[in-house]
Amino acid sequence: MFRRTFIAALTALTFVSFAVVPAKADAAADIAAAIAANPQGGAALEAALAAILTGAAAGDELAAAQAAIAAAASASPAVQAAIGVALSTQRAAIAATNPTLAASLDTAVAGSGIAATQASYSSGTSLGTDTGSGGTGGDGGDAGLGNTLTGNGGTNTGSTNDASSPG
């Protein structure tokens, strides 16, 4: 009895362990959940959406992108920009292996009419939300004027314009 139970249990485990896990087919629900978790947009939403879009099953990439564009239609500008960045990330991931799909993404984003999504898709960044600083360009130096001395490095043997000069 024990042996039969053990073999039956082992057989059941074997079938379970080799079962194929279906790919997530509902990108729209995943996108909505990511937006709900990050309603202010920003880097966290960009990363979450990029993971969803680049993780779409082969053949479902365009449908996932269209779901993201549909979500952008009713979203805030910050979320729209994050969606554009995620779509840009998706495009970069597939451009080399599937240029036809990359062109389809370009067309879908261009046809969306959503300015913030289009701008961040084109640039790959969420415009206006970067909190880093590029610093100043500097003053360019003083072009040899002021206290900067240039020359041959020799001793100044010329005249001066102070009171000790004879003339």
| Per-residue pLDDT tens over the stretch 21-67 | 344 458 999 999 999 999 999 999 999 999 999 999 889 999 999 99
Domain boundaries, the chain: 23-123
| Per-residue pLDDT tens over the stretch 111-159 | 999 999 999 999 887 754 444 444 444 444 444 444 444 444 555 555 5
Q: How far apart are CA 149 and CA 152, in angstroms?
A: 10
pTM, entire model = 0.62
Listed in sequence order, the residues at least 6 apart from 19 whose beta carbon sits closer than 8 Å to its beta carbon are: none
Beta-carbon count within 10 A of 143 CB: 7
Listed in sequence order, the residues at least 6 apart from 37 whose beta carbon sits closer than 8 Å to its beta carbon are: 45, 48
